[in-house]
Structure formats: structure tokens, C-alpha cells
Structure 1
């Protein structure tokens, strides 16, 4: 049930023009009664599980936002497409749809070094062989697919990139020989694309810089089901700090712990919660135990979707201290936090600042002293904190604007000229 009392269906997650199907048929020169064939490389997520929820008319309750796969199913069903979905998890959905075909193709993401590159090549060959059998009009592919393989997609198939990660940290494009070579190879692989749906304006800027083209690059706004938006509450002080995301060193968790430890000495009422999982979790837990204010630091571990909403509801300030060694595509949690009325402190390489510019304070990435100073200022000044929190209101409307959803932007990308 939405805030207006109306039931929101999965079909409402994608907005298209009334004549969209006719324009699509003209764009791809479909013969009468010829189905539009579209392939979607769904990546490592559980698209089959999302499909089962979609078939019952509900959003996937395991994720706090509207899943991309849910939006893809909605769009494909609306236009009567013959949809082929490539998944990595081995299981198939329990429900069936006459126009949808889910095909698991295993991918070992745990390998390292040469083994990782060999696995990437093996996986790409299997995906390409499958696509050649299908010969879709359009392939929707993520940037976690090897760039060199884009050129081997079936001849005649348009390529739409769904871009979730940047090529370099925001504002820090590499200029060395190795970086330039990598960028050149990436840009060459991207020449095949017809359009792209980007998760942030920064992703679109970098794609334009690599390919030399700025047209047909669409930016989505993550969408949250109306029923899952936490109730907003008045926030007066930055007492309860929250980190929510991957527990990795390059996500800045140890920088945050150091900054909090320094600030907490002067502010006995503030607390810090780390929520998430990752390879650095054991080391972080050890560091928390040894911290001078360990009793005021909580390690919550990985949270389910409902747990994420509860954590945001309890928080006063979200901290996203990503280091420059990590290519952050968006930092979705900053958007989720703003929608819940929670402002953020983010490092300068976090592109979410483009989408909620007034609702976050930015400090230079990798600068723990600057992070400490920013936290201290917001904690010391309730007036400054309340002014920041007051800028979160626009985000609530934005995450409910289905015209800017990933699926709605994909619909526009499908109409981009060849």
C-alpha cells in the first residue's frame, strides 16, 4: 500500500509512451506478427527468484529497491517480447511465462590471477554461443561482461549497456601509460553500443569520455516501492552514525573507525553501526574490539531488506567513506538514506552526490583527518546538521518517480537510432 492508500503494482515500475510498441516495431523493422527478441544479461543476482515474485505481481522483498530484473520483465511483457534472460545462479524459476526463457550459465567469480582471466574468457564464449543461437534484435549487457567480447555479439544485434560501475574513481582519471591503454581498450570495446543506461551521471560522463559520444546515454534514478519507504522522523542531532555496505578496506571502513574514535572522545553520546559483510569483516571486528570506545560501536553484519530499512530509520547520519582505490558507480545506500530523511557524509569519489547534491557533505577521498573534521562539525553544530537533513526531501519524490526508473530509461534506449 502506498502513501496515497493505493496499491502499487509491478507494472507501474516502468513508464512508456502509449505508442511505444509501434515505435519499437518501426525502429527494428519488425515484420507483421514478428516477435521482438531481446536478451538480458542479468549478472550474478537471483533473477529467477525475482521472476517468481514478479509472476505473482509483487516486488522482490529481498532487496530494498525495485530490482532491475523486475523492471525488465515488466517492459518485456508489456511489448509482448520474446525475452531471453541469462543468469549466473544455477536454479530456474518455479513459474513459467510463454514469452520468457531463463538460461543459467555458470560463472566462477572466485578465481584469481590467470585463472580469473581464463574463466572470464570461457564464460564469455558460452554466453556468446547462446546469443548467436537466439539472434536477438537487442542485447542488454552489463559492464561486468568482458569488453573485448562486445564486438563478437551476433551481427545485427543492437547492444545496450547497463552501466553500474565507473571506469576510474570519480575525478581521478588515470593519465599513466597503463591507465591510458586500459581506457583505450575499454573505449574500443564500447564502440559497438547503440545506447546505455547509466546508474549515475558520473558513469554517463565517463562513458562519453571513452566513446566520444554523449548521445543515447540515459541516467536512471533508483526506485523504491512506495510501501517500503520508511516513515520520516524529525532529526535534530547527528548522534547515531551508520555505515551500510561492503565491509572492505577500500570502502573506507577503517578510516571511518579511526575518525569516529577521535570524535567520540569529545562526544559521549554518539554511536556508530557497521552493517554489511565482506572480506575485511573479521579484521574490522578485531579493530572495533580494540577501539577506545568499543561499547558505542556495533557490528550488525549483513542485514535483510527489512533490516536495512530499520537501520536507516534509526540512523541520523550515513557515512560512505569510499577510498580512491575503488571505482564507485553510485553508492545506492546514499540515495536510500536520503529517501528516508537521512543525510550523508561521502568521500569525493562517491557519484551519488550528483543525484542528492544538497543532502550530503563531501570530504576528500583517503583523507581521514578531513572525514574526522566533517563529522565533528556536523556533530558540534545541530543547526548545520538540521540544514543538511532538510535537503533530503527531494530524494523521496525522486525514488518514487517511475518515469526515471531503470526500466523506463531502458525503454528510451531501445528507441535510440542505430
Structure 2
């Protein structure tokens, strides 16, 4: 069997170097999808070709595997040029699939799924992987976006073999665009090793200060300026015991830093920049709660930070914008999307009500096993589809 895997922008070559030694990629917290792909190929004695969108162009070959980094064309453009680049990229991808004489394509690199409808015509099965919602869950769908997803309708309703989906929110949107005539949808979860969280210490019983952790891109649609508004509110109310820690980089880092200085929040709103895995473990150990304030105009994936907060035994504050909520709701304080006042209230509730905080912590422990078991992993979901064909 010959399988092409369309991966994302990660360092799959580095993951392979660890996989062949029987190791997980140490740079990642979750078990990588590419590592699971290598496992599937090994179990099937299949030959694999991985195409990533990594910006460093490179081709690597070893044993039964070829890994090619192929950046997406015109990815920095907008409007029609952006979509032209995506279509051209998919057409070039199809040429590679045909030259490789693939039997199966898994994963996907762009949202132009309708181009992949060409593959079943020449006998190549396709199983896309949907990691993100197809459009922002609470935002109105523009006419252009509706037209775009109409182009993709046939692929999801007739042409693909099955669909791998990371969340119920994705399922609902696929059913919507296919008028409830989608090909079989198989769900999977992010998978973790217990060792990744073994060194995270219990949250301090001392609540002065009370540490709130944000991890992710520093962008407006990730809600970082909403957190700044919450910090300003606490400062105005004389609440000095709550400290925000933001771990990550992004295009709004400099602006955020300027505003932190402008409002005199340096002591209570700390920008740590990019943190490596060991540093993130320290930040989880320091924290009391994790907050994920993604705004409703963002095309959200599962958002692993929600899950990782639960695995670290930290209550999480987020909204239904994050699809992960459905899997860990009991450990979460759910607030309305985009409501920074409600985010502030949720922090104060966890800060002041120890019984409520402990209840959420206990729920964290009860919900963890589903993410440590590989029975719901991407690799097992893919194998379940292949066994039925």
C-alpha cells in the first residue's frame, strides 16, 4: 500500500528522527499526528510520502518514507490571490500523488477540498482530517464563504472515503454544508503521555498572588486585549492579588507591551514571550487557573491549551468558541464568547470560592483518561476506517 499524508507546517523530519528511535518528538506536548502516521504505515507495511507546508523547502528519504517540505504558494497574499495559490498548490499536490502511484491520501493542506475530488476519478481514495471549524462558529457566513463551501460540498458528500474530525462543532458544519449527507465522520482526540504532566506540581494553596495563565499566540482574536481589560478592571478595583502570565509571541506583542506600560500593569500582567516545553511546565506549576479567551471571529481548532490545562489539574476558563469544551465541560468555567466582564467574574469566583475551585480540580482528574488512552487517537481512527474498506 502507498499512502500520501498531507501534514501541516511542523518539523515532520525532526519527528521522524525521533520516531525511528522509538521516541516521541520531545518538542511537542501531544503525541504528534505525523508520528501516528508513521505507526500506521509500519503496521500496514505501507510506503509513505509526507508533504508538509513547512517553510524550509527540503526533501528527506529514508526506508519506506519520503518527507517533503513544500511551502504553500501565495500564503501571504489575500483575497483571490490567496485562493489561486491554494488551488495551484493542491493541483501540484495531485501531480505528486499520481507520480507516487498512491492508493490513499490522508490529511489535507488547504481548504480547497474540491480540487481533491479529482483523485477518486483515478482510483485514489481520500480521507481528509479536519482540525478546525470550517468557519467561525458565531460569525455570520459571508456570501463568498458560502460559495466556497458549496464548491466543497460534493467532496464531503460523495468523493471522500470518510472524514476524520477533531470535534462535534466540525461535525455539525460538515453536516450543514452537505445537507446531512456527509460521508462517514470518525472523531478522534489529541493524545498525551502521562509523563508530560508528571512534573507539574499541585497548585499552591496560597492565593496571594493568584496566578492566571494564558498560552498561545498574542493576537487580538485570541482575546489578549480582553485579558488586558480584565487586568485594568482589577487594578481599578484595588485587586492586586491576581497576576496574569501570557506565554507566547505574535503580531500584537509590541502593542500589548506598550499598553501594559501605559496602564502601569507590569507587576500584574507579565509577558513571558515564547516558552519552551520545560518552561511551560514551570508556568503550569506556578498557575492556579488557565484561561482561553478566543474571540468568536476566530476559526478555532480543538485548542489543546484547554485540554492541557485540565491535564495539569488546573480549572480552565473559556467559552464555547473552543470546541474542546464539549470534552471537558465539568472542569471548565464557561463564559459567553467575547464577554471580558464574564471572564473577570469567573477568575474572581475561582479565586474567592475554594470549594468551587476544588470541585473543578476534581473534575479535571476525572476527565483526563480519555486523552491518555490511544483508543481515540488519530492513528486508531484512521486504522478503523481502513479496516472497514
C-alpha change, 1:127 and 1:206, in structure 2 (3 Å) is same
Tell me, yes or no, if structure 1 residue 146 matches structure 2 residue 112.
Answer: yes
Summarize the alignment of residues 9-408 of structure 1 with structure 2, pairs less than 5 Å apart.
Answer: 36-89=1-54, 90-93=57-60, 96-97=62-63, 99-108=64-73, 109-142=75-108, 144-153=110-119, 155-170=122-137, 172=138, 174=140, 177-191=143-157, 192-211=159-178, 212-213=180-181, 216-230=184-198, 231=200, 233-234=202-203, 236=205, 239-264=210-235, 265-408=237-380
What is the Cα deviation at residue 410 of structure 1?
Answer: 1.3
TM-score, normalising length from structure 1? 0.84
C-alpha change, 1:368 and 1:295, in structure 2 (3 Å) is same
C-alpha change, 1:328 and 1:148, in structure 2 (3 Å) is same
Secondary structure of the corresponding residue to residue 22 of structure 2: coil
For 1:150-175, what per-residue CA distance to the aligned partner results, in whole angstroms no more than 9, with x for missing partners?
Answer: 212252111111111101233x2636
Counterparts of 1:87 and 1:123, CA distance in 2: 12
Secondary structure of the corresponding residue to residue 278 of structure 1: coil
Contact 1:328 1:351 in 2 (8 A): yes
What is the Cα deviation at residue 114 of structure 1?
Answer: 4.0
Q: Aligned pair count?
A: 379
Contact 2:128 2:162 in 1 (8 A): yes
What is the Cα deviation at residue 215 of structure 1?
Answer: 6.0
Gaps of 5+ in 2: none
What is the Cα deviation at residue 70 of structure 1?
Answer: 0.5
Secondary structure of the corresponding residue to residue 197 of structure 1: strand
Secondary structure of the corresponding residue to residue 286 of structure 1: helix
Choose 386-395 or 107-116, whichever is displaced more. Answer: 107-116
Counterparts of 2:134 and 2:294, CA distance in 1: 15
Counterparts of 1:413 and 1:130, CA distance in 2: 24
What is the Cα deviation at residue 220 of structure 1?
Answer: 1.5
What is the Cα deviation at residue 143 of structure 1?
Answer: 6.0
What is the Cα deviation at residue 253 of structure 1?
Answer: 0.5
Please name the residue that 1:11 is paired with. none
C-alpha change, 1:135 and 1:176, in structure 2 (3 Å) is same
Contact 1:42 1:69 in 2 (8 A): yes
C-alpha change, 1:110 and 1:76, in structure 2 (3 Å) is same
Please name the residue that 1:19 is paired with. none
Contact 2:168 2:323 in 1 (8 A): yes
Choose 331-340 or 179-188, whichever is displaced more. Answer: 179-188
Choose 260-269 or 278-287, whichever is displaced more. Answer: 260-269
TM-score, normalising length from structure 2? 0.90
Counterparts of 2:102 and 2:372, CA distance in 1: 32
Q: Which structure exhibits the higher relative contact order, with contacts defined as CA atoms closer than 8 Å and separated by 6 or more residues?
A: 1
Choose 198-207 or 272-281, whichever is displaced more. Answer: 198-207
Choose 230-239 or 189-198, whichever is displaced more. Answer: 230-239
For 1:222-276, what per-residue CA distance to the aligned partner results, in whole angstroms no more than 9, with x for missing partners?
Answer: 1112321234515545911011011110011000111122134443221111111
Choose 243-252 or 198-207, whichever is displaced more. Answer: 198-207
C-alpha change, 1:110 and 1:340, in structure 2 (3 Å) is same
Counterparts of 2:381 and 2:204, CA distance in 1: 34
Contact 2:284 2:312 in 1 (8 A): yes
Counterparts of 2:146 and 2:335, CA distance in 1: 27
Q: RMSD of the TM alignment (CA)?
A: 2.2
C-alpha change, 1:365 and 1:59, in structure 2 (3 Å) is same
